[in-house]
Amino acid sequence: MTIQERITQTKTGFSSTFWIANTLELFERFAYYGSKAVLTVYLATKVGLQEEAGFLAGIFNLVLYSLPIVAGVFVDKYGFRKTLIACFAFFCIGYFLIGLAGLEFGQDFVANYVLVVLLLTAIGGSLIKPCIVGTVAKTSKKDAQALGFSIYYTLVNLGGAIGPILALQVRETWGIEYVLIMSSITSFFLIIGTVLFFKEPVESSEPAEVRTFQKVFGDMMLVFGNLRFIIFLLIFSGFWMMFWQIFYSFPFYVTDVLKFERFELLETVDAWSIIILTVPVTALVSKWKPITAMTLGFSIASLSWIIIGVWATVPAAIIGIFFFALGEAIQAPRFYEYVGSLAPKHQVGTFMGFAFLPVAIGSFTAGIIADWLRGSYLNTNPSMMWYTLAGIGILSTILMLIYNKFLVPNQPQS
């Protein structure tokens, strides 16, 4: 497709609701990634939950990434617009209550309920995924859907790159707790934006399967009953155990060891790198077998932590996160292709719906690992934090290769 054809497709391939939904998503990502950039530091240093900060952040993302399939039932029952309003309302209340725990007048009666308000906020977060992704699908013409999802994912990464920078400005101006308050205020304006501008997507003429709790439960039993598939998801969660350390362990290392107070800037290196690398890297490895691309990407991501461990400098930290992003860009697009090849015939859609489980499992486990790494090594031998992560990645890579050789279904990987 030529550049002119792509420009024409951008102009004619989407309804106005598509652009409104993506604009809402962009600002929601500012709020989400801004709060995520400071969450563990905030819980540990401001709320006083030093030993539990990683665990709590892990619980938050476990719920956020494990409920979207169930949340899809609410989208089918109540529609995109009402569910989106509910999502932003959860965010507005949840972010405010989390921030309240760090305010002097709120600490006495809120700090003990941080877990509850984190769960409340995560439930809201689980609602947005089926809302926005579903809207993108329904408001894009058939020949423009690939471009539509490309725009969506670009905006998600843009939110991941800019959100922490905005959080830095708020933290330095007013205090770290106000990052959460600003996320709450942003969510409030997103409610208003949804009410005023978002229109329910027009239903397609093609009948779509309506999700019910009974159907979701049946799909879960089907997927969890496939032990071979679950083993692969568990192995692959090793990648996300490493990824989430960018937000769980890395900020403490940057401030305490590298003495660089503006840790949010270094957290954005991964997102900016992904934005730059994804298109050329995907084209470069497009003809590779999925397992080859995944193995190389996994290996590069694993070894990137050694760079951070060997050289305790800010430039080394930036280079290390860049190489992690390179590994992520190589393996991520092929992961879904590989998952599709593992699914039994005629059940690909069902199994693909559960491909996010490694994110949820990895996030939860990463929180526990982060608390242990910080408690054991941050003040004594910080390099061991990153060597341990590299070890987790290398072990997961080896297990993935063993899985592919001995347990993968007997069908070509192309």
Looking at the structure, tell me whether residues 308 and 390 fall in a common domain. Answer: yes
Looking at the structure, tell me whether residues 141 and 27 fall in a common domain. Answer: yes
Mean pLDDT (whole number) for 236-260: 96
Q: State pLDDT tens for residues 82-136.
A: 999 999 999 999 999 999 888 776 655 665 688 889 998 998 888 888 888 888 8
pLDDT band at 414 (very low <50, low <70, confident <90, very high): very low
Looking at the structure, tell me whether residues 350 and 226 fall in a common domain. Answer: yes
In a domain, 117, yes or no: yes
Contact 204, 322 (CB under 8 A): no
In a domain, 8, yes or no: no
Q: Please report, for the domain that includes residue 167, its CATH number.
A: 1.20.1250.20
Query: C-alpha dihedral over 236, 237, 241, 246, to 10 degrees?
Result: 80
In a domain, 202, yes or no: no
From 162, 197, 232, the end of a domain falls on 197
State residue 4's pLDDT score: 53
C-alpha to C-alpha distance for 151 and 10, rounded to whole angstroms: 10
Looking at the structure, tell me whether residues 286 and 403 fall in a common domain. Answer: yes
State residue 343's pLDDT score: 77
Q: State pLDDT tens for residues 16-41.
A: 899 999 999 999 999 999 999 999 99
Looking at the structure, tell me whether residues 241 and 389 fall in a common domain. Answer: yes
From 134, 168, 197, the end of a domain falls on 197
From 133, 166, 197, the end of a domain falls on 197
In a domain, 176, yes or no: yes
Mean pLDDT (whole number) for 165-181: 96
Contact 312, 383 (CB under 8 A): yes
In a domain, 383, yes or no: yes
Q: CB 112: neighbour CB atoms within 10 A?
A: 10
C-alpha to C-alpha distance for 397 and 80, rounded to whole angstroms: 39
By three-state DSSP, how is residue 140 classified?
strand
Looking at the structure, tell me whether residues 157 and 47 fall in a common domain. Answer: yes
In a domain, 4, yes or no: no
CA 247 to chain centre: 11
3-state secondary structure 266-301: HHCHHHHHHHHHHHHHHHHCCCCCHHHHHHHHHHHH
User: Which residues constitute the domain of residue 174?
Assistant: 16-197
By three-state DSSP, how is residue 14 classified?
strand
Looking at the structure, tell me whether residues 188 and 220 fall in a common domain. Answer: no
Looking at the structure, tell me whether residues 64 and 192 fall in a common domain. Answer: yes
pTM, two decimals, is: 0.88
Inter-CA distances, 280 with 7, 284, 286, 333, Å? 19, 6, 10, 12
In a domain, 7, yes or no: no
Contact 121, 94 (CB under 8 A): yes
Looking at the structure, tell me whether residues 241 and 103 fall in a common domain. Answer: no
* Number of domains the chain contains: 2
Looking at the structure, tell me whether residues 308 and 278 fall in a common domain. Answer: yes
Residues with Cβ within 8 Å of 170's Cβ and at least 6 positions away in sequence, in order, are 34, 178, 179, 182
Residue 2 has pLDDT above 60, yes or no: no
State residue 149's pLDDT score: 77
Looking at the structure, tell me whether residues 55 and 191 fall in a common domain. Answer: yes
Looking at the structure, tell me whether residues 66 and 165 fall in a common domain. Answer: yes
In a domain, 204, yes or no: no
Residue 386 token pair: 């990153």
Closest by CA to 305, choosing from 259, 368, 262, 369, is 369
State residue 105's pLDDT score: 64
Inter-CA distances, 127 with 22, 64, 223, 313, Å? 15, 9, 22, 40
